[in-house]
A and B are shown apart, each in its own frame.
Chain A
């Protein structure tokens, strides 16, 4: 099933980036990747995505910082974000939930199929 939609993948690990890109494109999703926070923010401003897949632990600017900045800017406040991370620090999770995200998934506990399915559901559902 082809799902139209534009996804921005923010992930610093190249293997994970590649796997996600391949899997999502197999489903017909348009995927743009950014390897760090600055590039991600620039990309969001340039062409607003339908969904951002956001890794948390990245060099220089963390995913949490990216999320904060997105929410702080009125132009990007309501961009939909799905957090993909490998840690589950309670302090971070509280703030992330407060900032408003579509979900928080642990990559290692997730199969690609589940990830793609989740993305598909979010893209099909109308934005709030």
Chain B
């Protein structure tokens, strides 16, 4: 900051002028003299005049003209009128035009000296304040710029240039420190190429170290006073004064040092130092933000890599269903570009996959419901008809640290192939049921018609009979396969209700009566009077009883005993059938309920089993929340038992 203190004395009295000039120079001021108004104006226009001492009466023009002239200047000096003519109107005029003072000749030098000092001081203060205001405005602008951009490399050098311009700094640089406090890089421009070439910021031994350790500014109005810490390059390249400010992080550590270099010695008034300190603090905040931003960016990049490497589609949604991000796989599954859909509504993104919006709404309704209910994770399937794709989705709600819903994470898997296979299987089952059953019915009925014809040769009659029996077996096998297939895939409609086990047993035994009579077995039923009622599906339980009772009949040699028992134990009912048949080898018992399993000892007695009967029983019992068990000793019969939830009350 240059101190303009040139005083211009415009007076045509050379003796007066000499006295004043000598006096004021003795006071430490710089003084120039002009003898005419014209010379005075020329000198004013040349610039640098801080104070005008003006005589009102001049040879070439009135003094007030010179005064008026000063007002036209960009930075008008103060003016003190010193005149011999003490007319009131000239005093008023001078005051109106804006002089700072009015003195009568002969002049009291002490008074003049005091007035000059006063006026110059006020001028300096005004200029200083103006500069501070400009500096504050600049600081505000710069901090906005710093915070608007997180790329310090770009913004800081510009900010330093602005700083330099506003405060008359010849060069401003920021020396950024690393974690150990050593200078890592420099932002900003130095005084000259030579300056930049010769200057090396040092971790120790220089001003940087002082600032770093003291965490306070260092101000050197004249660097010659501290050759011990000032770098030689400054002396070599014209630096006369410098100031260094710490750029402090939030925990107080010095992240960088701001250096200001001046070619002329400076005074560093305290408010200027404070202002520059404030600038350094803004830099600190910007550095912190940039570091956090960089850390966040790295995390973000890492997250992106993780998300893109997973084979599931991931869609991160905000609380209302707005897309926050989509990973690459989700983009593939939903046929959209991940970068382009941020901010869109998930619902809107699904519409293109459907023939019309209503179809989309219907299909996506479960997903919409899941996004409305954040209490638990949900899943479901969504078929995209136009893409020919079926997606399995899971929606996991995300809570913020305060426990509020922050959004959802949706994972997507392509299950088109699985559903395709499942559908093919189900189509296959349909195929089996229709295509196989129709000709089977044809054979059965034709054989039936044939057997009904009169006068059949006995041999033919017996062949037809065997044919019919064989057909029955085949039909039974197809039925079993269909039942097993449907139970395995859990597509059997199950109607739960009270089932009277005693009545059901009676029904099934009635169906088996011909076979029982043929084998000559004796069948007893115990516990029926208690009429235990189970909770289950009547049709499925009928199947179970039919299988177990049928087995008992089949695997017992003629003239055997079959005992059925049942009862209720608290919340469960039990049922069992005990036979006196061939029993089950120990090795086979653990595998009895497996699909297609037949124990070794059955072939002798009954070659027609499929290995599905007990498997079916197990599937049904699982479905009805019941258990089935078996106890047996080979050659000593077998007992098969069931437990089921009780159905409560007597069956209707």
- Using CB atoms and an 8 Å cutoff, list the residues of chain A in contact with chain B: 13, 15-16, 19-20, 22-23, 26, 57, 86-90, 106-113
Contacts and interface: CB of A to CB of B under 8 A. Distances in A.
Nearest to B433: A87
B104 interface: no
A23 B434 contact: no
Interface in B476-512: 478-479, 491, 493
B147 interface: no
A119 to B, nearest CB: 14
Given A108-B444, A108-B475, A108-B478, A19 B449 contact: yes
A26 B445 CA distance: 14
A68 B446 CA distance: 31
User: Is chain B's binding surface mostly helix, strand, loop or mixed?
Assistant: helix
Give the one of A19, A88, A90, A108 with max B CB within 10 A: A108
A16 B441 contact: yes
Given A19-B445, A108-B475, A13 B438 contact: yes
B300 interface: no
B270 interface: no
Contacts of B445: 15-16, 19-20, 23, 111-112
B519 interface: no
Contacts, number: 58
Nearest to A110: B441
Contacts of B478: 108
Given A86-B434, A107-B441, A23 B449 contact: yes
23 contacts: A13-B442, A15-B439, A19-B442, A19-B446, A19-B448, A22-B449, A23-B449, A26-B452, A86-B434, A86-B437, A87-B430, A87-B433, A87-B434, A89-B430, A90-B493, A108-B437, A108-B444, A111-B444, A111-B445, A112-B444, A112-B445, A112-B448, A113-B448
Contact of B437 (A15, A22, A106, A113): A106
Contacts of B441: 16, 86, 107-108, 110
B440 interface: yes
Nearest to A18: B446
A87 B428 CA distance: 12
A112 B449 contact: yes
A87 B485 CA distance: 14
Nearest to A86: B437
* Residue in A20, A86, A111, A112 with the greatest tally of chain B CB atoms within 10 Å: A86
Contacts of B433: 86-88
- Interface secondary structure of A, over-half rule: helix
A90 to B, nearest CB: 5
Interface of B: 430, 433-434, 437-442, 444-446, 448-449, 452, 475, 478-479, 491, 493
A22 B434 CA distance: 23
B479 A109 contact: yes
A23 B478 CA distance: 25
A87 B427 CA distance: 12
Contacts of B493: 90
Contacts of A86: 433-434, 437-438, 441
A20 B438 CA distance: 13
Nearest to A15: B442
Contacts of B438: 13, 16, 86, 107-108
Given A111-B445, A111-B448, 15 more contacts: A13-B442, A16-B441, A19-B446, A19-B448, A23-B445, A86-B438, A87-B433, A90-B491, A107-B438, A108-B441, A108-B478, A108-B479, A109-B475, A112-B445, A112-B448
A73 B441 CA distance: 32
Contacts of B442: 13, 15-16, 19
Nearest to A94: B493
B542 to A, nearest CB: 14
B191 to A, nearest CB: 89
A90 B430 CA distance: 12
Between B430, B433, B445, B448, the greatest number of chain A beta carbons within 10 A of the residue's beta carbon is seen for B445
A50 to B, nearest CB: 22
Nearest 9 A-B pairs (CB), nearest first?
A15-B442, A19-B445, A86-B437, A108-B437, A107-B441, A108-B441, A112-B448, A112-B445, A108-B440
Contacts of A109: 475, 479
Contacts of A23: 445, 448-449
Of listed B430, B437, B438, B439, residue having the most chain A CB within 10 A: B438
Contacts of A87: 430, 433-434
Contacts of A112: 444-445, 448-449
Nearest to A113: B448
